[in-house]
Structure 1
Amino acid sequence: MRTRIKICGITDPEDARQVAAAGIDAIGLVFHPASPRHVTADQAAAVINAVPPFISVVGLFLNPGADAVRDVLRRLPIDQLQFHGTESAAFCRQFGRRYVKALGMAGDVTELDARVAEHGDASGFLLDSHAPGEQGGTGRVFDWGSFPRDYPRPLVLAGGLRCDNVAAAVRQCRPFAVDVSSGVEREPGRKCPEQVSQFVSEVRRGEDD
């Protein structure tokens, strides 16, 4: 099965056009104010306007207020939501959009099934390198041996992925998708087109090995 690719932390319309041309499946817009990749609604609108058809736009939040999420959805055509904090399933589902729930894989990962079950209506789960309850986006790799292959729910691999390790990650984990941000940047929030293209090529190489 083809591995889907999401490039997160897009802040610039030209970056959106360039990563789309590389053959990715989704872009991520960060609405967490503490992030160096945070975008305002106006910035996000300019990015979305540069995205061609059939590429999904994902809005990323970390423990937001419900009104903040509703304001983004009222102003912007977001396709899916992605929650990276301690949000409950009831909180995530109230917006009437498909959502991905991020789960931290540092520390005790033995209760993954229980954590997945808590968000039974999520469209998928992003496994990242932070500890449960902590903020993601660390740029660190977690132990891929704890990534369950052939899992019954779609799993997205994140955390420290780069051009020089993503082929091995895909080969070992066989995730539904991979999610990268800092690993293809020239500075926080600005993507390097050459690295994005190489990243996509390496994902495909990992599928073929």
Structure 2
Amino acid sequence: MHTPRIKICGLTAPSEAAFCAEAGAHAVGLVFFPKSPRNVSPLQAREITRKLPPEVASVGVFVDASFETIMAVSETAGLSTVQLHGNEPPELAAALHDQGLAVLKAFYVTAPPLMERASAYPSATALVEWGKGVLPGGNALAWGDETPPLPRRSPLVIAGGLGPDSVADIIRRFRPDGVDVSSGVETEPGKKSFDKIQKFIRIVGQCQVPGPIKEPFTHDEPKSPQ
């Protein structure tokens, strides 16, 4: 049994990155999507990633960006991992993986791209959200109690609508390898609460999932579809 890995997403300040790393996060996320209140420029992201030790993954979140754009931003910002949060094809995930980047691909329970598509992306870790709201991402909406069991794929990351008060139940229900939180540890959109981050990490640290756990935020060999 192991504790799930933790990603704190939507950072906008170097001080947030330093705190997340010190508190025990395994990855932090930087959003490159202009419509998001957490959007940062590649140069802003670079200042944030410089505060991270090597063992904490720096994840860039993109929505239907091109291969060239993602690679250019990744180089400038110092990213180790990319998160594809739109309708990107499997070929893009594979091409990014071949460049040495770890890849997360977002899927949804209630909207396209559906979780059932995850097997078409053997080069990526599946990140699953409830899938309601206007913007790509969790939109601070909690997972519904009627959610059916998810098709098991490992590594698996659960995201969307998580927070200190809900994450233990989500881990119990879905047994993920990792959890991803953004608005659930904020005082306002784009402004993280250090108290909430610390509480979230402490609660996840008390949860157990079957092992051996597979690291969801670092580069690995392509996985066979399951």
| TM-score, L = length of structure 2 | 0.82
Q: Indicate the residue corresponding to 2:110 in structure 1.
A: 106
Give the aligned residue type for 1:99: V
User: Structure 1: any 5+ residue segments left out of the alignment?
Assistant: none
**Is contact 2:126–2:153 with CA below 8 Å preserved after alignment?**
no
Q: Indicate the residue corresponding to 2:217 in structure 1.
A: none
User: Structure 2: any 5+ residue segments left out of the alignment?
Assistant: 210-226
Query: Post-superposition shift, 1:147?
Result: 4.2
Distance 1:107 1:93, change over 3 A: closer
| TM-score, L = length of structure 1 | 0.89
Q: Indicate the residue corresponding to 2:170 in structure 1.
A: 169
Q: Does 1:22 align with 2:23?
A: yes
Instruction: Kindly report which structure 2 residues correspond to 1:155-194, keeping only aligned pairs within 5 A, or say none.
Output: 155-194=156-195
Deviation larger for 165-174 or 175-184: 165-174
Instruction: Kindly report which structure 2 residues correspond to 1:9-158, keeping only aligned pairs within 5 A, or say none.
Output: 9-95=10-96, 96=99, 97-106=101-110, 112-113=115-116, 115-122=117-124, 124-130=125-131, 135-143=136-144, 145-148=147-150, 151-158=152-159
**Is contact 1:106–1:142 with CA below 8 Å preserved after alignment?**
no
1:73-107 deviations in Å (ceiling 9; x for gaps) = 23132111110100001122223222010001125
- SS of 2:24's equivalent? coil
In the TM superposition, structure 1's runs of 4+ consecutive aligned residues that sit over 6 Å from their partners are none
- SS of 1:21's equivalent? helix
- SS of 1:168's equivalent? helix
Give the aligned residue type for 1:12: A
1:144-179 deviations in Å (ceiling 9; x for gaps) = 643437x24211011110111111111221110000
Deviation larger for 176-185 or 15-24: 15-24
CA RMSD of aligned residues (A): 2.3
